[in-house]
Amino acid sequence: MNRPTRVLLLLAGLFLSALTLQAQSGRLRAANKQYENFSYITAVRLYEEFLRGKPGDANETREALTKLGLCYRKLQDSRNAERVYGELIANYPDLESEIYLYYAQALAANGKHRESQKMYSQFGQKQGDDLRGRRFTVSYMDMSRFYIDSSSYRIQNLPINSRQADFSPMYYKKGIVFVSSRDEGGMIKRVFNWNQTPFLDLYFFPDTNQLRIPGFDPVVRPPGTAVLGGGGPAADQAIEIEAETKPTSKSEKFSRTLNTKYHEGPVTFTKDQNFIVFTRNNGSKGKSGKSTDGVRKLKLYSAVNRNNKWHDVTELPFNSSEYSVGHPAFSPDDQKLYFVSDMPGGFGGTDLYVVEFNNGQWGTPVNMGKDINTEGNEMFPYVDETGNLYFASDGHEGIGGLDIFYAELKDGVAYRGVQNVGYPINSEKDDFGLITDRGRTRGYFSSNRRKGISDDDIYTFNRACKQLNILVFDAKSGAPLEAADVRIVRNGTNQDLKVTSNEGKTDLCLDANTEYEFKVVKEGYAPNTAKFSTLTQSNRPQVNVSIYLEKSENTIVRGVVKTEVNQKPAEGVKVTLRNDKDKSEKTVVTGPDGGYEFAVKSNAPYTITAQKDRYATKRAQYGKSKGARKIQRTAPDSLSLYGEGDVFQLKNIYYDLNKFFIRPDAARELDRVVALLKEYPDMKIELRSHTDARSGDMYNMKLSENRARAALDYIASRGISADRLTAHGYGESEVVNGCTDGVNCSESEHQQNRRTEFKILAVK
């Protein structure tokens, strides 16, 4: 072969090589474009094609592997993520610390906790600010704490699940509302670019009784007494029951008003279930619906149920097009909303926030702090009937992926820290969206444990009762004592009050990792206590605790603290009983039932004080002193607290049509307000006056202002300082019975709207 021929062949080879490199670079650019458009499934295919072509540029290979790993993370494909990150770490020594974190998370999601521990350790060594490296390194040294109570649970995959994602159930009426990407048919179905699955809608299954685990119910005490994974030391003790093959009634679309062409869900409801807050993609059209980086963020919306239809869809005021706000959960009293956001100023990816909701007005969101939020992602909150918080996190120590955690809240603070609820509710995969009763004996949650990769299913669980018998005896005779009060104190907080049977017995179902104290009081006996701990687990299904009481001259003071506005038990109230003779004091903090009990010496005067932040302090006297009440020996005595923000209607404050003078019946009712303000000299109130809907809006507003001012002047004339009083008129803006413009109502119905209320603005 002569020299010109060799030169031509060499040039041809270089040209073909250049074409090959150009084609490879084109594949990488195409993959990057899909990645930037969040089309992760398409991006995965293109990155894999690029890498199979054996690219010669090491930097391009590293870029492709890094972005491919992130795609698999977004798609929740932990096995392929493990493969890609393993290849990255094996071939590139100078990687960003996050690669070690992502590799550790993928290994844990695949059940490889020992290997995951090593990667968490390396992640911690490469940076010092993110505490996950240190926390998970220590946590994976002993996994047994995640499996302590596993044998108590039975779990069932529900027959309502579809082939697509189903998750985030929420109680509604007698059924559950949940989120699903199922395709119910139709000519057109949009798909989500991210993973090529249909957009999320809200569905409703009307009867949870059809979803209970057959033959396994937790023990119920009468009143007064995104695959089932796991492994681990107790995995063989937990039982999974497959979904029954018998058909259930079909789930239905929850609301055509609320479901749109984009994502909806999760949701939460107020206690009366007539007010909903739900998650939805930003509904604005065009560029106005997207953030500056081109993403359509999540927002929270509310709606009101009237005549079984949802109306008045309204965007919540703290939404933004620049960050997501979603995953709502109301507190039991409907006065707080917990939610998730990646707004600036948080601790990690997504954080939990809480916002006040009073009289239809939203406050300012507050981050729940570093005890709850981590450098990772916290999401899917739920608040049980006692006000305690459940949420999912990949930042707190868990088995893998998202785990479900529990925090007992006191004044909004997780005062005992955050606890992993353990296996089998948690697995190596993503577990989230739990709803349950106050004792976590029955409920629902979501998981992708079956296959992962957009395969979220809803599961139901039941937890068996581990019974503890409390036996109370006379210390001298050994006879069982009937009708003794047994106060259950759980982790230092008052809980239920139980009463012993004629056999001197009561019982309860034990929780794991809990310190108990049992305080026993009975008329004619000195009080006694006993402690019990489940921090070290016993395999015995039933245990006994015996408590002996010595006879004495003690008598019992007992009662219930309630909120005056609705007469419901007040939890977290500090109740102090003071012996006015020897100046000694005893203190308890009320539990969910608002109850308190004290054993006291007979024939001595006592003062009881009830205190709680943002409530007026209440005092009551008992015993010998003049004007004091006698000690209650049998029937409970109630102490009612007035709280800031409470609104009371003055039932007899009515006005004649188009008048604003105070009628004699109104004066008698206002005298009660005068007495209240004299009892609480630091209380400040707002007088709020309303009219019926007849006459014009401006006229009614002026009339209501005059009526409120008349009420204020009357109270001030009875010796109450005017600087403690504020008057506002609301016209016809807040009718109470639907008698708005154009509605035919009787005179008595219209008079119900001509009313005055008072709202407590401040207390001490």
Write the DSSP string, 684-748: EEEEEE---S-S-HHHHHHHHHHHHHHHHHHHHHTT--GGGEEEEE-TTTT-SSS--TT----HH
Q: In this model, does residue 742 exceed pLDDT 50? A: yes
Are both 443 and 342 inside the same structural domain?
Answer: yes
CATH number where 583 lies: 2.60.40.10
Q: In this model, does residue 201 exceed pLDDT 90? A: no
pLDDT, tens only, 374-389: 999 999 999 999 889 9
Cα-based distances in Å from 346 to 190, 278, 368: 33, 22, 10
Are both 414 and 308 inside the same structural domain?
Answer: yes
In a domain, 634, yes or no: yes
Are both 588 and 684 inside the same structural domain?
Answer: no
In 318-413, which ranges are continuous DSSP H helix?
none
In a domain, 43, yes or no: yes
Token pair for 101: 């974190």
Q: Are β-strands 298-306 and 275-281 bridged in parallel, bridged antiparallel, or unpaired? A: antiparallel
Are both 53 and 121 inside the same structural domain?
Answer: yes
In a domain, 3, yes or no: no
Q: In this prediction, what percent of the chain has a pLDDT beyond 70?
A: 83
In a domain, 308, yes or no: yes
Task: Identify the top-confidence range among 7-21, 389-403, 611-625, 678-692.
Answer: 389-403
pLDDT, average across residues 257-284: 85
Token pair for 108: 């844990």
How far apart (Å, rounded) are the C-alpha atoms in residues 425 and 419? 13
How far apart (Å, rounded) are the C-alpha atoms in residues 519 and 496? 11
User: Is 434 in contact with 444 (CB distance < 8 Å)?
Assistant: yes
pLDDT (0 to 100) of residue 232: 39
User: Is 64 in contact with 28 (CB distance < 8 Å)?
Assistant: yes
Are both 116 and 205 inside the same structural domain?
Answer: no
Lowest mean pLDDT among 237-241, 581-585, 717-721, 726-730: 237-241
CATH number where 711 lies: 3.30.1330.60
In a domain, 14, yes or no: no
Q: H or E stretch including 20?
A: helix 3-36
Lowest mean pLDDT among 200-214, 321-335, 430-444, 530-544: 530-544
DSSP state at residue 569? B
User: Is 554 in contact with 599 (CB distance < 8 Å)?
Assistant: yes
Token pair for 283: 């509904």
How far apart (Å, rounded) are the C-alpha atoms in residues 696 and 658? 12
Burial of 526 (0-12, 13-18, 19+ CB in 10 A): middle
- The structure's pTM equals 0.75
Q: Are β-strands 351-358 and 389-393 bridged in parallel, bridged antiparallel, or unpaired? A: unpaired
Lowest mean pLDDT among 125-139, 204-218, 344-358, 573-587: 204-218
Domain count, the chain: 5
DSSP state at residue 174? T
Q: In this model, does residue 482 exceed pLDDT 60? A: yes
In one-letter notation, the amino acid at residue 297 is K
Q: In this model, does residue 192 exceed pLDDT 50? A: no
Task: Compute φ and ψ for 378, nearest 5 degrees.
Answer: -110, 135
List, in sequence order, every beta strand (DSSP E) within 80-185: 153-157, 166-172, 175-180
In a domain, 1, yes or no: no
Decide: helix, strand or coil at residue 425.
Answer: coil
User: Is 320 in contact with 343 (CB distance < 8 Å)?
Assistant: yes
Q: What is the domain range of residue 495?
A: 466-544
Are both 727 and 596 inside the same structural domain?
Answer: no
Are both 129 and 203 inside the same structural domain?
Answer: no
CATH number where 274 lies: 2.120.10.30
In a domain, 558, yes or no: yes
In a domain, 2, yes or no: no
pLDDT, average across residues 694-711: 86
Range 110-119 burial, b when 16+ CB lie within 10 A, else e: bbbbebbbbb
List, in sequence order, every beta strand (DSSP E) within 475-553: 485-490, 493-499, 505-509, 515-521, 528-533, 542-549
Are both 413 and 539 inside the same structural domain?
Answer: no
Are both 69 and 210 inside the same structural domain?
Answer: no
Are both 175 and 134 inside the same structural domain?
Answer: no
User: Is 91 in contact with 66 (CB distance < 8 Å)?
Assistant: no
- Phi-psi category of residue 383: left, alpha or beta, with phi > 0 → left and psi -120 to 50 → alpha: beta
Q: Are β-strands 413-414 and 409-410 bridged in parallel, bridged antiparallel, or unpaired? A: antiparallel
Cα-based distances in Å from 140 to 115, 231, 232, 372, 431: 10, 14, 11, 20, 18
pLDDT, average across residues 646-653: 78
Cα-based distances in Å from 557 to 141, 506, 595, 604: 51, 21, 11, 12
Q: In this model, does residue 743 exceed pLDDT 80? A: yes
User: Is 311 in contact with 317 (CB distance < 8 Å)?
Assistant: no
CATH number where 102 lies: 1.25.40.10
pLDDT, tens only, 43-102: 999 999 999 887 778 899 999 999 999 999 988 899 999 999 999 999 998 899 999 999
Are both 446 and 340 inside the same structural domain?
Answer: yes
